[in-house]
Amino acid sequence: MASVEVELLWAEKYRPKTLDEIVNQEEIVRRLKQFVKSRNMPHCLFAGPPGTGKTTAALALAHDLYGSGYARYVLELNASDARGIDVIRTTVKEFARSVVPGPIPFKIIILDEADNMTADAQQALRRTMELFTSTCRFILIANYPSKIIEPIQSRTAFFRFTPLKKEDVVARLKWIADQENVKYDMEALETIFELSEGDMRRAINILQAASALGRVTVEAVYKVIGAAHPTEVREMIKAALAGRFTEAREKLRALMINYGLSGVDVVKALHREIFSAELKIPEELKVIIADYLGEVQYRLAEGADDEIQLSALIARLAMLGKRLRV
């Protein structure tokens, strides 16, 4: 797979530049446009899953407020890197206290990944937000808003971003592929959406990585992300439930070797397929398997051996299948 820097090129290239280009966040866009219209805004907290347009919305708001030269009026920091109290006391405070000429009397500081900021840094930020409200507005971006201290939450307008809809993601992927002259199968684009779980950034990166192999097919998508094809996982489950333990175990080993999957990856793949419409098993059996998958996942997270735990899982499936046949 290409390096992270190369993978991000398409995501940056096709990022919406203005609020009008953002889709699936209509209510948020409507509220942000009111800020642009009034040329004023409060401190904001953008929260929601990764890849749903939080950073894009912040930059698009700045672009619509200040025009093409918006970069002069915006300080963008990733709090997962610069997350200590020293950054708040120096970089942020120095930028916030300076006055800017022009029709917009304030600048914008975008703190991405703000939920990774230390508690001390958040306490220092609270005071900074109060002191420099006349010259600066803050946009805090977080995947988990509960990690932002209550005093900061009370000082911000809250915006909840939702995962993107399937039709929007697939349509955007199709448009990007057409722009880049990439050949693709529509089924592959739908598979990319399922794997990205509404994360547009990840979806674009998967598309770019798969395009390096030639035509973007379902097989190419699974190959570049290092995930097992659902058909192979279902075959392993069916073999186990049919009582063919040795065959199911060999399929398991092949999955782990061919795709380089960890034990947790296999458990997640099994969990996904157990509840898929393609696998026809009784509801009661799904409940039992889901309960045991949770137990195995916990054991793996605590450091248990992958092969032993997964072999035990296959054995449990075989015994459940025998009980079902009886």
Task: Give the per-residue pLDDT at 186.
Answer: 93
- Domains in the chain: ranges and CATH: 25-160 (3.40.50.300), 166-225 (1.10.8.60), 230-325 (1.20.272.10)
- What pLDDT, on the 0 to 100 scale, is given for residue 326? 45
Name the strands in the sheet holding 44-47, side by side, starting at the edge strand that comes first in the sequence: 74-78, 107-112, 136-142, 44-47, 157-160
Alpha-carbon span 129 to 136, nearest angstrom: 8
What pLDDT, on the 0 to 100 scale, is given for residue 108?
Answer: 92
For every residue of 252-281, DSSP letters joined together read HHHHHHHH---HHHHHHHHHHHHTSTTS--
| pLDDT computed for residue 96 by the predictor | 81
What's the CA gap between 55 and 65, in Å, rounded? Answer: 15
Neighbours of 52 (CB within 10 A): 25
Per-residue pLDDT of the chain (326 residues; tens, 9 = 90+): 344 444 456 667 777 888 888 888 889 999 999 999 998 999 999 999 888 889 999 999 999 998 888 888 888 887 666 666 777 777 778 888 877 777 888 999 898 888 888 888 888 888 888 888 888 999 999 998 889 999 999 999 999 998 888 898 999 999 999 998 999 999 999 999 988 888 888 899 999 999 988 899 988 898 888 777 888 888 999 899 888 999 999 999 888 887 778 888 899 889 888 888 777 888 888 889 999 999 999 999 999 899 899 999 999 998 888 776 64
pTM comes to: 0.75
- Strand-strand pairing, 44-47 and 74-78: unpaired
Neighbours of 78 (CB within 10 A): 15
